[in-house]
Structure 1
């Protein structure tokens, strides 16, 4: 039945969007019996707005380079690999074994999450990522909040990476310390120039950045093996292998995400490949497995090398891999630092791609200003979304420059957004598995199923507990996060709620999921209505009119046609 509904809706080429208003998620379809001569509309409770023209989509035209599974796999490496070069080492403050336990917990949670996402993508390859799926599983408000939190997370990660990149350059050449704002600007300009150009050049740069970063990392791992001494360097004092017990473990848990954060964004590449249902799941699962292996190798090798000052010095190092590079190449600290620059830039480059895709998808649904959905003529790159996100990130860099505390707390605020987004994705997967039968025919089979989603969700909940209660900063991070969510909530209620629509991409990919969700709620409400009616008939005598009213309330869903209004899906 759903297939017939979708086919009939798509056959009416005058309908391009669904105007969504302040309705309840459980509102039914209703036939308005409008004359066939009128322009068909799909509106919400009392709205008579004509079907709106959607902005140009970023669907890849035939003359634009089409990525393959290897390109998408390398994109994941580009996005994530920088996190295995720097910042993760701060978690060693919990002790080698405690942080290793956190790594295993987070790594397995990411594997489970990526398998869930891969199965969803194999059935519903939506280029808006978690935001679009949250919209149809959790509701419009949660979908909006998750989309905004993810966007801000990626923007802040780029700002953090930009600052890290600049500090590496400053450590190599001190005079650059006076022109930090210029260095931040150049970072954004170079990355945007490549991304906005798009097409084949974008994917060539992606392959170059990811390939060089991965190659240098493998050089570090295997070249350093000759200098590894685990007993002498990693745990010279067994009492320091686990510091502060459970408190130390859970406090450092969020830092283990540096090894993997960003890999979940590969689902947003649906517009860039010819067969997203098969290519993206294969690339995403292959990428997370690659990152788990490289992350474990980097962790083991780094803690086992002879670092001046031992683990205590390593956990505060700006460039924790320098010792290995210096030993392998017999090079200076400056040369060793230079070897970390490509991966650091690659991570910022990859996250800019992420927030460009996400902001574009949300603007196409009019949750964000429509101008952000503008694309280039040739490559269909969402240049306005890329520029807008970069401007916000540049201001974050300035805030961190004038208020150093901003830089200290940015990561925790970002990872809180990520944890909430991951929880939403896990819950969305569970709901889709239960209510959307078509997901069972996905091109990718998730071996962990709902259990994997539940496990992943529990880890992210533990991460949120870490942020709320164990960071020792008086709750400033969670306070900033809640203030941000409150502002986003106000924006949605006052602005976005009244003008949001279903974009053409959502029509094409997610319509069936929305209808499936609605039908399930309709069946549940029908059962409740029947149960209530049966209880009522025991106490009162039903009249003919009462029976007719009850029958009307228990009717089946009206198929969508060109005269049908939707109060809310």
Structure 2
């Protein structure tokens, strides 16, 4: 976004400006500041944006979701997936509206900045950043397990795989967004094709009785359909989320999209449609082929489902390799997402400004490298399941704040130009808000340690803002300019 300097209203006093909350200051920066912090515009159409959304999520169809069977059984996970599908669909409609109205690289942070001010924007951006910085670390551990199980390159020690994955895919991102998005699209397409191959093998082996083979416990409301009782539905929320986690990353590509007002809604809605179909098919036919009890603890559900049902070795091998592509696709895409979120927060001064400097190919170098180094360090713990739950905690907190932002902007700024409008308006995003709040609580039911560690990291980030960065925001950053113009319009009125 470019704003004519002559159109800027004069700040009410040095160092501050209309619309900023008390105690938050914006600074004028040296000429050329934004010139060194530009992304390549007009690169991605709606199809590449849809590919980004599917790519970010596709690993969740191969692994992770199945652990919800151990929390809620098939019935509990089924209900949880339906509820989370409703939440994500409603949220995607809301984000499609916000992304078309406020198209910057900040995504959810930009929306919350406009609706909730600097504190709300930063709190949302940090929650998103925690999700995207930690999720690749979890996925890296799964990639390492896949590489070792397949016997690729003779590797038996996973940390070499983690390092190679981060180095290779960060390197591709440094080459430029066009190259990265096209590579992501191809990898995601192979992963989707792998799921099709799996379903071709699993559907003939389907037995409805396999879905309910977990013995009921003595929990309240327990049955063959809900073996862990009613509480199992809630406990399965974080795993149901894995079918859709990170589809909300699509708006982060707004500044690099062609005609984002049109391509952003089309891309994210198309991605969500395909993900809904894949979630339903994988949820039913994976345990339906080999049994919920067997799949509940599996590290490679599609392969174990085929092997457990007696499918041929050839199709099992193909699906095994496709699973690796699925993990790589999500790893690749979420690196893109964390770099753009870091870039946007840094460019506006919420994080150290050096993180947003771009290279000759308009790629944010340190925004790719620094979170990548942190993620690599986390991957060395080998605690993939715990890291997954930490990522889900950050995600659900951001969902709550983004849905609040949609509702606030609809009521406070009804005349804000919205090329796309959410079907059902604030009722739709209100449903997503309630379900997201329930999902935040559910993360504590599954792994209290992971939730509290993530909460601690979140508090540290908020302390940074309270003590330092709120006094050093950049007035000319796009997200700050949005509010500057909004404040100017209010003064005119």
Structure 1 residue 131: deviation in Å?
A: 0.8
State which of 364, 370, 387 in structure 2 corresponds to 1:382: 364
Contact 1:325 1:331 in 2 (8 A): no
- Aligned residue runs from structure 1 range 201-350, under 5 A: 201-230=179-208, 232-236=209-213, 239-305=223-289, 307=290, 310-323=291-304, 329-331=312-314, 336-350=319-333
Cα offsets for 1:238-268 (capped at 9, x unmatched):
8432122121111111110000010011001
* Aligned match of 1:58: 38
Q: In the TM superposition, what are the counterparts of 1:97-496 in structure 2 within 5 Å?
A: 97-173=75-151, 178-230=156-208, 232-236=209-213, 239-305=223-289, 307=290, 310-323=291-304, 329-331=312-314, 336-377=319-360, 379-398=361-380, 400-401=381-382, 406-439=383-416, 441-468=417-444, 470-471=445-446, 475-496=448-469
Q: Pick the structure with greater CA Rg.
A: 1
Q: Number of paired residues?
A: 479
Taking a change above 3 Å as real, the CA distance of residues 328 and 272 of structure 1, as seen in their structure-2 partners, is farther
2:56, 2:247 within 8 Å by CA — same for their partners in 1?
Answer: yes
| Contact persistence 2:94–2:422 (CA under 8 A) | yes
Deviations 1:326-352 (A, max 9, x none): 555533866542231001111100100
- The normalised TM-score by structure 1 is 0.78
Match of 1:96 in 2: 74
Mapped to 1, the partners of 2:244 and 2:329 lie a distance apart of: 14
Provide structure 1 residue ranges, at least 5 long, that are not aligned to the other structure. 1-5, 28-42, 520-556, 560-569
Structure 2: give runs of 5+ residues left out of the alignment. Answer: 216-222
CA distance in 2, matches of 1:503, 1:412: 37
Secondary structure of the equivalent of 2:423?
coil
Tell me how far 1:437 sits from its aligned partner.
Answer: 2.3
Summarize the Cα distance change of 1:431–1:225 in structure 2 as closer, same or farther, 3 Å threshold. same
C-alpha distance in structure 2 between counterparts of 1:219 and 1:502, whole Å: 52
Q: Is the 8 A contact 2:206 2:288 kept in 1?
A: yes
2:113–2:479 CA contact under 8 A, matched in 1: no
TM-score of the aligned structures, taking structure 2 as reference length? 0.89
Query: Contact 2:144–2:158 (CA<8 Å) still a contact in 1?
Result: yes
CA contact (8 A) 1:153 1:414 kept: yes
> Contact conserved, 2:94 with 2:406, CA < 8 A, in 1?
yes
C-alpha distance in structure 2 between counterparts of 1:461 and 1:106, whole Å: 12
Change (3 A) 1:85 1:135: same
Q: CA deviation at 1:512?
A: 4.0
Q: 1:271 to 1:329 in 2, by over 3 A?
A: farther
In structure 2, C-alpha distance between the alignment counterparts of 1:504 and 1:242, rounded to whole Å: 51
Quick one: structure 1 residues 142 and 123, their matched pair in 2 at CA, closer, same or farther if it must change by over 3 Å?
closer
CA contact (8 A) 1:366 1:496 kept: yes
Distance 1:22 1:119 in 2: 27
> For the residues of structure 2 that align with 1:317 and 1:222, how far apart are their CA atoms?
20
Q: Distance in 1 between matches of 2:484 and 2:276?
A: 35
Tell me, in whole angstroms, the C-alpha distance in 2 between the residues paired with 1:510 and 1:290: 35
Structure 1 SS opposite 2:463: helix
